[in-house]
Amino acid sequence: MKKNIESIVEELVLPVLDTKDIELVDVEYVKEAGQFYLRIYLEKEGGITLNDCEAVSREINPILDEKDPIEENYFLEVCSPGLDRPLKKEKDFIRYAGRDVEIKLYKPLNGTKQLEGELVGLTEDKKIKVIIDNNEVEFDKKDIAIIRLAVKF
């Protein structure tokens, strides 16, 4: 059900974003503290602004109201994925090759579930390749709880 809602919302939002040169990063439908949230994460060249989020929100709100893909009451949030954004799609692993990432695994590797390294990209068989302590390591997506850009100050 949740995945279906996210897919439907993605289909409804994409035509609006195509006219604005804004990329859809992710759609998330979650329940937090008893409330439902529909979060639409956006990105564009040069960075997404509050005005961009507001404009997209104003444009998609009536579309969501008309098509009504969600039965429950929910809060709509249109936002940037942030500096430490999670990487989810194939294009993310290509775009951010060369950047530092933080990885949290479901099962420990060499005694730890949290790793940090430099993202190399995807292998031909769609494994995620990362350089950790000068060693190339490949991960199956299913083994990674979350992989996100590391923020260094």
Domains of the chain, CATH where assigned? 2-79 (3.30.300.70), 90-149 (2.30.30.100)
Interacting residues of 147 by C-beta distance below 8 A, sequence separation 6+: 86, 87, 101, 102, 103, 104, 128
Which regions in the chain score pLDDT beneath 50?
none
Task: Give the pLDDT of residue 85.
Answer: 84
Residue 86 phi/psi, 5-degree rounding, is: -70, 145
Task: Give the pLDDT of residue 76.
Answer: 95
- CB count within 10 Å of CB 85 equals 17
pTM (2 d.p.): 0.78
Q: Are 123 and 75 in contact (CB under 8 A)?
A: no
Task: Give the pLDDT of residue 57.
Answer: 95
Task: Give the pLDDT of residue 110.
Answer: 87
Which residue, among 104, 106, 108, 103, has the nearest Cα to 120 in the 3D structure? Answer: 103
Task: Give the pLDDT of residue 60.
Answer: 95
Task: Give the pLDDT of residue 3.
Answer: 62
Q: Which pLDDT tens digit goes with each residue over 91-120?
A: 889 989 999 999 999 999 889 999 999 999
